[in-house]
Amino acid sequence: MERNDLHRHLNRQIDKYLAEHDFQHIPQLEAFIEVINQTYFNYEKDAELFEQSTLLNDREYFEVTKKLQIELQKKQLFESQLVALIQQLNDDSKPLEGETNLLQLIQILNREIDQKRIYQEQLNQAKIEAENANEAKSEFLSIMSHEIRTPLNAIIGLVYIMEKEDTLQGYQENIEVLKLSAQNLFLLINDILDFNKIEAGKIDLEKIPFDFKSLIQQIARALQARANENLNKIRLQIDENFVSNVVSDPLRMNQIITNLVSNAIKFTQQGTITIRVTQLEVAGGISTFKVEVIDTGIGIDKKEFTSIFEKFSQAETRTSRQFGGTGLGLVITKRLLHLFDSDIAFESELGVGTNFYFTLSLPIDAQANTFDLHDDGQTEVMLDGLRILLVEDNKINIKIAEKIMSHWGVAVAVAENGLIGVQMHQQGNYDVVLMDLSMPVMDGYEATRIIRETDADTPIIALTASASFGYLERALQVGINEYIIKPFNPKELNLKLKKFSKKLS
């Protein structure tokens, strides 16, 4: 790793604390510095995420302001009309003819006065709503800043500590904390990106056969360690008659149920979280069932029932301060369920607990016996023989992607920019192209456009840190099949490649 590849801030830290020969002759430290270097670069891209997280609310505020201006113009017009009518009433040079005209004029005045009063009330209400929206946005940004800075503080602090400590045990302990902090940042950024994708209508559901029961069992196992931190137990109650081999989007189903269970764990101490699945009906090739996540936690006050599904909101500000979180989890869950033609409901009592539940009607997998019933759509699979062209200019990203995919038996060829990628595509035979969008010499958009002139079939997946929907929409228009946003979950990449490998087989 060359010094000129490092972030400027990290370079200063190395100059300050590490001698040049130490940096080059300790492989573990060099590998660690590579991870920290990528963290610095990712942190710079978080500014774009903040812009995206507030974009929709800014649009709403602009629309309210625009309506206020229109109503103000109407108000001024009505006032001028009233003045003219009053002048006509008092102008002896323009006498009114007959009692009928006078009565009509009075009716006009009364109607205008009533309309003015109504518009004034609407303006006041719009002003209140705009102020509340702006206050909610400010509070959300404050919470978001806190949630992002907390794991970053741990990362920066541990870098300093690891520079001072020289023991293997301390090194391993610090690595675990760094891993946890990075995971927290990853989940937080994914929440923001998912919220933006849902709001913009950019989420398309997959249709993949999987075992819903196995998916729930995996979620319970994955979250039990987190539940143990609050001395909680996770229990499963699955109907014996449950028809669980269905066709749907396991990634989004995992996200919905994980959000609900994580929420239950967060607000429960020394209690129980129960995931219950009840079969309601099986008819016409459709399995209809109810999913419940029940906890024995703090419960929700009835006066807060209407606000917990509002964006940028938790039940109370003190709740976010005490338990953490951005308030986006339930909003995302509700919006995702709408994509499945479902909705979330809940029952809760303060000090007793909460039950969040929803109903799903999913197609039954008629060929369930031909699939691995333990494959919940989330399990990583081997992809032996799959040939990937990775078009990426960042050396660290290349190394990470190569190491991840090597565990799956994937053969990876690397192109350092879009121009080389086009040339290698013309000369080689690849099953899938992983395309970065922002690169020197030739970016991913132009490279994809050129490839699509002669090849309309090879799947191209954008692997990019550009989270703005303007960029992603442009990518889809030039021929990108799908996109994965960095930092990415390796399981998501495996899921995408698995889908295309099945199409190719």
Average pLDDT on 427-455 reads 94
Strand blocks (E) in 314-465 = 345-349, 353-363, 387-391, 411-415, 432-435, 460-464
Q: What is the pLDDT of residue 285?
A: 94
Question: How many C-beta atoms surround the C-beta of residue 202 within 10 A?
Answer: 13
Which own/partner pairs from 13-17 qualify as long-range (CB within 8 Å, at least 24 positions apart)? 13/159, 17/163
* Cα 337 to Cα 249: distance, rounded to the nearest angstrom: 11
The edge-to-edge listing of strands for the beta sheet with 345-349 is 233-238, 272-283, 286-295, 353-363, 345-349
Tokens, residue 277:
């699945």
pLDDT single digits (tens) 456-493: 999 999 988 765 666 777 888 999 998 887 777 788 88
Give the angle subtended at the CA of 360 by the CAs of 355 and 364, to the nearest 5°: 140
Q: Which residue has the higher pLDDT, 430 or 34?
A: 430
Nearest to 38 by CA among 393, 490, 394: 394
Cβ atoms of 332 and 198 within 8 Å: the answer is: yes
pLDDT band at 380 (very low <50, low <70, confident <90, very high): confident
Q: What is the pLDDT of residue 315?
A: 40
Q: What are phi and psi of 28, to 5 degrees?
A: -65, -40
Whether omega for the bond prior to residue 459 falls within 30 degrees of 0, making it cis, is: no
pLDDT single digits (tens) 230-258: 999 999 999 999 999 999 988 889 889 98
Which CATH number describes the domain made up of 208-370? 3.30.565.10
Q: What is the pLDDT of residue 127?
A: 77
Task: Give the up-direction half-sphere exposure of residue 475: CA atoms within 13 A in the CB hemisphere.
Answer: 27
pLDDT single digits (tens) 395-422: 878 888 898 899 899 999 999 999 999 9
Tokens, residue 434:
């992983």
Which CATH number describes the domain made up of 387-504? 3.40.50.2300
Cβ atoms of 188 and 326 within 8 Å: the answer is: yes
Q: Which residue has the higher pLDDT, 499 or 358?
A: 358
Average pLDDT on 201-210 reads 80
Query: For the chain, what are the domain ranges?
Result: 1-202, 208-370, 387-504
Residue 274 predicted with pLDDT over 90:
yes
Nearest to 46 by CA among 189, 173, 255, 250: 189
Average pLDDT on 24-32 reads 70
pTM, entire model:
0.50
Domains 208-370 and 387-504 are alike in CATH topology:
no
DSSP state string for 14-82 = HHHH--HHHHHH-HHHHHHHHHHHHHHHHHHHHHHHHHHHHHHHHHHHHHHHHHHHHHHHHHHHHHHHH
Alpha-carbon dihedral angle through residues 348, 354, 355, 358, given to the nearest 10 degrees = 80
Residue 141 predicted with pLDDT over 60:
no
